[in-house]
Chain A
Amino acid sequence: MGTLHELSVRDAAERVRRRDVSAVDLARAALARIAAVEPRLGAFLTLDETGAVAAAEAVDRRIAAGEDAGVLAGVPIAVKDVICTKGLRTTAGSRILERFVPPHDATVTARLRDAGAVIVGKTSCDEFAMGSSNENSAYGPVRNPWDPARVPGGSSGGSGAAVAAGECHGALGTDTGGSIRLPAAYCGVVGLKPTYGRVSRFGVIAYASSLDQVGPFARDVADAAVLLEAIAGPDPADSTAAPRPVPSYLAALDGSVRGLRLGLPREYFVEGMQREVADAVRAAVGTLARLGAAVEEVSLPHTEYAIATYYLIATAEASSNLARYDGVRYGLRIPEKSLGDMYEATRAAGFGAEVKRRIMLGTYALSAGYYDAYYLKAQQVRTLVRRDFEAALARCDALVAPVAPTTAFRLGEKVDDPLTMYLSDIFTISVNLAGLPGLSLPCGADAAGLPIGLQVIGRPFDEATVLRVGYAYEQATEWHRRRPPL
């Protein structure tokens, strides 16, 4: 039972369904692992031992009754704390929602439950998903399982760390500018940001509505495929969830890349990049070529404008999305004599520095007299960025690139320099602007043993090809088998 927490999502569910192991045993194993490593990591903001055991018991009862308990039967899963869980505190990593217990499940939460998953708790994240290091959580940082002095990446740092550390078999995160792919790379696990519209956003606390997307963390590509299949698809509660059928992602994993054309974006190998990262990604590309893929260099000429564009669009949307946290109906309220003073005191006390910075940036970008120069211009550049990808993906089936310019950096290293921090997302942000699927999977380690991530970017709604490329690479290499020395 000591290694139950190391099982893949597929194996765990299969063994529960075969009654080799009970869902309750799996849940207890996960909770025991959490108890053992959590003091060193801080990956969770809220644990739900009671709820997890109750959900596991329900799965066991269904199986005993001969019912279908779902593809995720009894599998312990963690959920990023920006995703609403009915009856379970959801803070978005913010003081302003410190005691907020949602009366509603996000669609992805409900789909996890329907598939038989056991939700063990809520993972830490940068406040309202704004950050690249998880240091913007109001409840303290998360430590990287590979080196507790380093960040796990953000904003879904808790999910990345929890999956890497074996605290859960898989997790959900959200990705607005790289918030799944960056922690996946830094923590040495698989993370997938699906196409915008592939997964419902209902019940997912909005940061930037036109960019946010929910996706899975897992320890291998096949697990990510299973989790995506469970949460993806149209949703009557989200008009931006595309009315397209969900294919079987697992079935797409045939282990081959023969005949695929893969593009290598010239602009994604830049001055100042960590040498080991560039080398590891080039080596991974070499592996894919040996496996039969045709690799060619492509250009995404508007890459250099992506960060500026992102910080106008994302902050503009955020300034509006976060207006509802006003102390009137729920969440923190600092009582004051006048309404205006109550708003100011509540939001001053409830929001952290980075959130305030982005609200102010976004408010400015939307203001009368600046809208055309900033927000509108950013939307125009966004179109150019998308066209870059359209052109490249017209020639290629997928693009391969690094996830981040460096491996995980040290806690505190960049907190005083937001611009340097923003550059962590330089290779991931464009994919959000273009709305494309992006996969991050382990492809190496630096001299200190810290994981390096490989990014696979696909055409809209073609997660199948992205996963197929990742799976073929994984079959040919051992990087996904490395575990942090906890």
Chain B
Amino acid sequence: MTRPPMEAVIGLEVHAELLTESKIFCACSAAFGADPNTSVCPVCLGLPGVLPVLNERVVDFAILAGLATHCTIAEHSRFARKNYFYPDLPKGYQISMYELPLCVGGHLDVLVDGTTRRIGLTRIHMEEDTGKNVHDGETSLVDFNRSGVPLLEIVSEPDMRTVAEAGAYLRTLRSILQYLEICDGNMEEGSFRCDANVSVRPVGATTFGTKVEIKNMNSFRAVEKAIAYEIARQTDVLAEGGTLAQETRLWDADREETRSMRSKEYAHDYRYFPEPDLLPLVVDPERVAHVRARLPELPGARRERFVREYGLSPYDADVLTQRKDVADYYEAGVAEGAAPKEMANWVMTELLRIVREEKLDRALVIREWPLTPLQLARLAKLVDAGTINRNTAKGLLPRLRRTGQDPEALVAAEGLAQVSDRGALEAAVADAVAKNPKQVAQYRGGKTQVLGFLVGQVMKATGGKANPQLVQELLRAALGG
């Protein structure tokens, strides 16, 4: 008996911590990294009698995210209480949104293997983060600094079919939030968290298989590995004639497997009901228009413009537009007169290598670049104009970085400009021909590969500054080739 080919159905639920100064329902600082329980007050500690007051900036950030993902912004929405007991949840309920979220029905266009896929977005709502339990041997402590830090919960439709699509969705979403400057997108520090809902079904089926929720992934790689693992596990269980349980599973990064955490029978009944301490949220069209006016050009649109305007390949344009700061850097260089293609090469190969090596991309916005866009643009121009060759240029990078010097000035001061003067080079070429009769004979005998050796001799004689193309041309002429 042959089994039908299977496909995966994937939906992602992202929690993004917002970069507001203060928490969502009190005036405490929302900044990460303070000493435990120092950014707290009666409200975020859930003391008796306290009440939440909504931070309006959180609403603006949520509207921004909704508009950037093509959602409808609900004129009437409502906070709700999600009730459960846990030591990191001071009130015994989390203020979230349930029946009436702020943003509904959007989508993201993501690039997968060169083609665009549209992934539906079910909803975006605001909620408060919990505190953090810290376990120390026998004792457990709670740090409430994070309690009340604003979160967006962003829920996709079950529209993804492959790990690559899920990865592309997640990266695109993070990129958008970073462009909006509302979330730093750091998965390791937990400011951008992702749970995945995964099921499998025969290709062509119209109903869904049994859904498993996977939690506890701390990096993009982990999300991708966990989904891949889960697809394989579910496919295997079904292939062996087994059945799947609707459950929550935890990703174990060390053992690279998912493990059952709780099944549906033990699922929480969160007893959601409208939050009576907050008024229903009314967002009028005027406010939405006001926020819309603040929307920057988003990564998708910018990528397409880079292809159109600068003649870049979609891949290059994608790499250059994933981060707004990188795209801004690139365009600043082009504005300085660098050729778009040359500038793209320098940014992608040299600049981004340093950024990655030195983990500069941890910052939401890189402000201290290793080289200014002007320096890199001028270096690109020098290469493009044939003033220096590419290797000389690369060799200059550490010094340019250290000194902050203008590349043109450095090249002039050190006499690094490549020698393209035929008269000057002809003497060196004649000298090389005279000093290497054996190789000359070999060349003339048809072994043309030795030309490289002779070019090297001329380059050495000129201190590496000779224009290599011109040297080749002159050698061929001298050798009568």
Contacts and interface: CB of A to CB of B under 8 A. Distances in A.
Contacts of B45: 329
A356 to B, nearest CB: 15
Contacts of B50: 104, 202-203
Interface in B126-151: 142
Interface stretch (B88-96, B188-196, B214-222): B88-96
B87 A320 contact: no
Place the interface of chain B in its size category.
20 to 34
A35 to B, nearest CB: 29
Given A104-B42, A239-B278, A371-B273, A366 B83 contact: yes
A97 B47 CA distance: 11
Nearest to B86: A339
A363 interface: yes
Given A205-B48, A328-B142, A366-B83, A320 B273 contact: yes
B208 interface: no
Given A92-B48, A237-B53, A324-B46, A366 B277 contact: no
A77 interface: no
B395 interface: no
A236 B53 contact: yes
B53 to A, nearest CB: 6
A95 interface: no
The DSSP consensus for interface residues of chain A is loop
A204 B49 contact: yes
B83 A323 contact: yes
A50 B45 CA distance: 29
A209 B46 contact: no
Given A239-B52, A320-B271, A324-B90, A102 B277 contact: no
A240 B277 contact: yes
Contacts of A209: 276-277
Contacts of B90: 324, 328-329
A120 interface: no
A388 interface: no
A366 B87 contact: no
Contacts of A208: 276
Contact of A316 (B93, B273, B278): B273
Contacts of A343: 85
B142 A366 contact: no
B49 A375 contact: no
Interface in B72-88: 81, 83, 85, 87
A90 B48 contact: yes
Given A320-B93, A366-B271, A371-B273, A329 B278 contact: no
Point out which of B45, B50, B81, B83 has the most chain A C-beta atoms below 10 A from its C-beta: B50
B47 A103 contact: yes
A477 B205 CA distance: 82
Contacts of B357: none
A475 interface: no
B8 to A, nearest CB: 29
Contacts, number: 100
B48 A367 contact: no
Place the interface of chain A in its size category.
35 or more
B51 A326 contact: no
Interface string A311-323: 0000011011011
A317 B276 contact: yes
A329 B48 CA distance: 11
A328 to B, nearest CB: 5
Contacts of A203: 49-50
Contacts of A329: 45-46, 90, 142
A237 B48 contact: no
B54 interface: yes
Given A104-B42, A343-B85, A326 B92 contact: yes
Contacts of B42: 102-104
A367 B271 contact: yes
A97 B92 contact: no
A323 B92 contact: yes
Contact of A100 (B48, B51, B53, B92): B48
A135 B440 CA distance: 115
A381 to B, nearest CB: 16
B269 interface: yes
A299 interface: no
A202 B93 CA distance: 18
Nearest to A103: B42
Given A320-B92, A323-B91, A102 B48 contact: yes
A324 B48 contact: yes
B83 A238 contact: no
Contacts of B53: 236-239
A368 interface: yes
A339 B271 contact: no
B239 interface: no
9 contacts: A102-B47, A202-B50, A210-B276, A316-B273, A317-B273, A320-B93, A324-B92, A339-B87, A371-B271
Interface of B: 42, 45-54, 81, 83, 85, 87, 90-93, 142, 269, 271-273, 276-279
What are the 10 closest A-B residue pairs judged by CB atoms, nearest first? A323-B92, A366-B271, A209-B276, A210-B276, A203-B49, A205-B48, A205-B49, A324-B46, A104-B42, A368-B269
